C-alpha cells in the first residue's frame, strides 16, 4: 500500500562539485570579454546602462536632487592604479554610501570571513591588469534554486570625485562597488536595494536557509545557538527596530544605529572577576560609529583581563567593529538573523547530513489562496498549498549521544520572487508566511477498512468489487453516484486500490483539494504543484470539491494517459476546460517524477 507523501527535486549533490551558474539575461561573461579584448574596446552594458533608471525611480530617480551633478566613471577615471582586490578581501572593505542597503553590506562584510564562499560570489580571476582588462566584471548569486552569473561594466556613480554608494577603505579597491552594482542590476536599480533583511542577502550569497529570532522573547539557549552557528560557518546579523520613520539610522547615546543591520562575527566566553561572561563581536557596515558601553574599544573592563587575552580580543580602532556583553546585546537589539549553509557549501564537513529540497509554488485566487488563520478566512485555510514531509533519519549528534528520543532537524525557508524589481511600479514584498503542523496518520485506519472489504484472502475480483461498491454506496447517501458497472470496476481493479475512502479524511463523501493531492500521491502520480492544480480543476465542482464519480474518472484517465502518452497530452486534455497563460503551460510540461 502506497504511503502518502510528496515527490521533490533534490538540489545539489556534494560529490558533484559546485553547480554551474546560468548566465543572467543570456549575457555570457567570457564571450563578452573576449569580444571586447579583440575589438580593443571597453564593455558597456546595454541592460544596465549609465542612465537615471539604473539609479532608481524616486529618491534617485530622474529629476531628483540626489542625482544632480552625478557622473558615471570607470575606476581609472576615479583614482590611479585601481585594483579589483587590494591584498585580501576584508570586512573593513565595506563602507556604506548614500544608499539604505546596510542589510546587503552587512551580509557582504560577514561573507568576507569565509574566503571559499566569497570566491563563489566574487570570482577572483578578475583584475585591472592592462592585458586582461576589458571594462567587464561578473558576480554570482543564488536565485530561487540556481546560481546566476551577472555581468556589469565598471562605470560607477560618482559625485564630486567620490563614489556615491559603497566604497572600500582602500580608495583604489573596487570589488565591493562592483559587487553592489551587480546586485543592483539583479534587482532592477540601486534604489531597489533600499531597506531589507540580512537573510535575504545571505541566501542570495550562499543558497543557504535563513531563520530569524526575536530577541525580546526569552531564550536561554541563544548564546549556544550563536556559537554553534559560528562554528558551523553560518552567517549572522542583528538589527534594532524603529517605531517611526524619522528614527531610521538615528544614533543612540550608546553609539548604536537604529533600523540598521550589524554583522555578528565572533562569540567568546571569558572569566572576569569571578564571573562567567558571554561576549559577542559585531560590526557596523558604515566602518565607523561604535558601541560605547561595556567592553567597547576603550572600556576600562579590558584592563581586568590577562594581557595576552586582552591583546587577542581588544581592538582600539574606529573601524565599526566592537565587542558587547550578551545581556547588553539582548537589551538593545531586537532581531537576530542566521543563515545556515547547505552541504555543497560545507564540503569540508565530512559529517554533514543535510538533504536540500526546493519547491516552486504560488497562491491562486479561488484555488490555493486560502489566507491566514487570523484573516477571518479560517474556513478557507485548507485551500493553501500543503506539503507532507516525513523525517526518517535522526540527527547524527543525537545518535552519538544515544538519546532515547532523537530529533531530526528541519529548516524551512519561504522566498518571494522578483519583488524588488516591482518597486518602480509601486509594488513591494507581500506579507506571506507558513505554518508547520503535525499530521496524524490515517494509514492504519485505511488498511483496516480495505481488509474488511476484501475478506480473509485480501483479494477482490471485478464482480466482488462491483458488489461491494454498490452495497456500500447504497448505504452511504452522501456519495453522489449512479452505481458501478462491470467495465468501470474492471478498470479500478487493474489500475488502483480503493484510495478514495482512505483519503476522504473528513468522511464527507467528497474530497477537498488537499485530500485529492494525497490520494494522487498514494496512487503513484507524483506531479508538480502546477500540474496538480490543472488536473484537479477539471474535476472539482463549484465548491472546490471532487465527488466519487469524478475521482474515479480522473484516476482512470490519468493512468491511461501516463501509460500510453506523454505528459504534454495531459496539458492538452486539461486545457480544454481550463485556460492558462503560456508561461504556466510551459512550467506544467516539467513534471517531477521519481
Q: State the catalytic residue, choosing from 24, 101, 102, 199.
A: 102
Identify whether 284 is a catalytic site residue: yes
* CA–CA separation, 171 and 161 (whole Å): 12
The answer to whether residues 396 and 353 touch, using CB atoms and an 8 Å cutoff, is yes
Q: State the catalytic residue, choosing from 284, 512, 528, 547.
A: 284
Lookup result for grid cell 579590558: 302
Lookup result for grid cell 570566491: 119
Give the alpha-carbon dihedral of 54, 59, 62, 68, to 10 degrees.
-100
Rounded to 5 degrees, what are φ and ψ at 568? -65, -30
Which CA distances in Å does 419 have to 65, 72, 104, 298, 364?
A: 26, 27, 16, 43, 17
Burial of residue 116, with CB atoms counted within 10 A of its CB: 0-12 exposed, 13-18 middle, 19 or more buried: exposed
Query: Read out DSSP for 41-85?
Result: -----TTS-SSHHHH-SSTTSTT-GGGTTEEEE-HHHHSSS-BSS
Residues 6 or more apart whose Cβ sits within 8 Å of residue 244: none
Which CA distances in Å does 61 have to 5, 67, 420?
A: 49, 8, 15
**Angle value at C-alpha 582, between 580 and 583, nearest 5 degrees:** 100
* CA–CA separation, 199 and 420 (whole Å): 15
Residues 6 or more apart whose Cβ sits within 8 Å of residue 151: 23, 24, 27, 28, 29, 32, 43, 45, 136, 137, 138, 182
The answer to whether residues 362 and 338 touch, using CB atoms and an 8 Å cutoff, is no
* CA–CA separation, 489 and 25 (whole Å): 53
The answer to whether residues 355 and 369 touch, using CB atoms and an 8 Å cutoff, is no
Would you tell me how many other CB atoms lie within 10 Å of the CB of residue 1? 10
Identify whether 102 is a catalytic site residue: yes
Q: Which three cell numbers stand for residue 76?
A: 581609472
Beta strand 146-153 with 22-23 is parallel
Q: Which helix (H) or strand (E) holds 278?
A: strand 275-283
Which CA distances in Å does 576 have to 214, 534, 553, 560?
A: 50, 11, 16, 18
Q: State the catalytic residue, choosing from 260, 489, 529, 574.
A: 260
How close are the terminal C-alpha atoms of the chain, in Å? Answer: 17
| DSSP 8-state secondary structure symbol assigned to residue 110 | H
* CA–CA separation, 477 and 293 (whole Å): 74
Identify whether 512 is a catalytic site residue: no
Which CA distances in Å does 385 have to 70, 123, 460?
A: 48, 38, 35
Given its phi and psi angles, is residue 88 left (phi above 0), alpha (psi -120 to 50 degrees) or beta?
beta
Q: What angle do helix axes 529-539 and 513-522 make, rounded to 10 degrees?
A: 110
- Residues annotated as catalytic are 102, 260, 284
Amino acid at each position: 500500500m502506497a504511503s502518502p507523501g510528496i515527490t521533490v527535486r533534490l538540489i545539489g549533490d556534494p560529490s558533484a562539485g559546485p553547480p554551474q551558474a546560468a548566465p543572467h539575461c543570456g549575457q555570457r561573461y567570457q564571450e563578452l570579454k573576449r569580444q571586447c579584448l579583440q575589438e580593443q574596446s571597453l564593455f558597456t552594458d546595454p541592460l544596465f546602462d549609465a542612465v537615471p533608471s539604473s539609479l532608481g525611480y524616486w529618491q534617485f530617480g530622474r529629476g531628483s536632487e540626489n542625482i544632480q551633478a552625478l557622473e558615471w566613471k570607470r575606476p581609472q577615471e576615479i583614482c590611479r592604479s585601481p585594483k579589483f582586490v587590494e591584498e585580501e578581501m576584508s570586512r573593513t572593505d565595506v563602507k556604506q554610501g548614500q544608499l539604505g542597503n546596510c542589510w546587503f553590506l552587512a551580509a557582504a562584510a560577514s561573507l568576507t570571513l569565509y574566503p571559499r564562499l566569497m570566491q563563489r560570489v566574487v570570482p577572483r580571476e578578475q583584475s585591472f591588469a592592462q592585458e586582461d582588462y576589458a571594462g567587464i566584471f561578473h558576480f554570482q548569486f543564488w536565485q530561487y534554486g540556481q546560481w546566476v552569473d551577472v555581468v556589469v561594466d565598471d562605470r560607477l556613480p560618482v559625485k564630486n570625485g567620490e563614489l556615491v554608494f559603497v566604497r572600500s577603505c582602500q580608495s583604489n579597491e573596487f570589488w565591493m562597488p562592483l559587487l553592489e552594482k551587480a546586485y543592483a542590476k539583479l534587482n532592477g536599480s540601486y534604489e531597489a536595494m533600499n531597506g531589507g533583511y540580512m537573510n535575504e542577502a545571505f541566501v542570495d550569497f550562499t543558497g543557504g536557509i535563513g531563520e530569524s529570532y526575536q530577541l525580546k522573547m526569552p531564550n536561554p539557549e541563544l548564546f549556544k545557538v550563536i556559537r554553534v552557528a559560528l562554528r558551523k560557518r553560518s552567517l549572522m546579523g542583528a538589527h534594532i527596530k524603529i517605531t517611526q520613520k524619522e528614527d531610521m539610522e538615528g544614533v543612540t547615546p550608546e553609539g548604536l544605529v537604529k533600523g540598521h543591520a550589524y554583522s555578528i562575527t565572533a562569540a567568546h566566553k571569558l572569566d572576569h572577576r569571578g564571573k562567567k561572561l558571554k561576549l559577542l563581536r559585531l560590526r557596523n557596515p558604515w566602518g565607523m560609529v561604535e558601541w560605547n558601553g561595556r567592553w567597547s574599544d576603550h572600556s576600562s573592563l579590558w584592563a581586568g583581563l590577562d594581557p595576552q587575552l586582552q591583546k587577542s580580543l581588544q581592538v582600539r580602532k574606529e573601524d565599526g567593529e566592537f565587542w558587547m556583553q550578551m545581556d547588553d546585546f539582548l537589551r538593545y537589539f531586537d532581531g537576530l538573523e542566521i543563515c545556515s549553509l547547505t552541504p555543497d557549501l560545507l564540503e569540508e564537513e565530512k559529517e554533514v547530513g543535510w538533504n536540500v529540497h526546493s519547491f516552486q509554488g504560488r497562491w491562486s485566487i479561488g484555488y490555493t489562496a486560502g489566507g491566514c488563520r487570523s484573516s477571518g478566512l479560517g474556513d478557507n485555510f485548507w485551500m493553501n498549498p500543503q506539503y507532507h514531509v516525513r523525517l526518517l533519519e535522526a540527527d547524527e549528534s543525537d545518535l552519538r549521544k544515544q538519546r532515547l528520543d532523537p530529533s531530526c532537524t528541519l529548516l524551512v525557508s519561504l522566498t518571494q520572487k522578483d519583488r524588488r524589481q516591482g518597486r518602480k511600479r509601486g509594488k513591494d514584498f507581500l506579507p506571506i508566511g507558513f505554518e508547520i503542523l503535525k499530521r496524524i496518520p490515517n494509514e492504519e485506519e485505511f488498511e483496516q477498512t480495505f481488509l474488511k472489504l476484501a475478506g480473509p484472502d485480501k483479494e477482490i475480483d471485478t464482480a466482488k468489487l462491483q458488489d461491494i461498491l454498490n452495497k456500500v454506496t447504497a448505504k452511504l447517501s452522501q456519495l453522489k453516484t449512479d452505481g458501478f458497472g462491470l467495465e468501470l470496476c474492471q478498470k479500478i481493479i487493474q489500475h488502483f486500490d480503493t484510495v478514495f475512502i482512505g483519503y476522504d479524511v473528513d468522511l464527507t463523501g467528497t474530497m477537498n483539494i488537499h485530500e485529492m493531492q494525497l490520494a494522487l500521491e498514494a496512487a503513484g502520480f507524483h506531479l508538480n504543484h502546477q500540474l496538480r492544480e490543472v488536473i484537479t480543476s477539471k474535476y472539482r465542482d463549484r465548491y472546490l470539491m471532487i465527488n466519487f464519480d469524478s475521482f474515479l474518472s480522473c484516476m482512470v484517465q490519468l493512468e491511461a494517459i501516463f501509460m500510453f502518452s506523454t505528459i504534454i497530452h495531459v496539458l492538452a486534455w486539461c486545457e480544454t476546460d481550463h485556460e492558462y497563460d503560456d508561461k504556466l503551460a510551459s512550467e506544467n510540461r516539467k513534471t517531477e517524477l521519481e
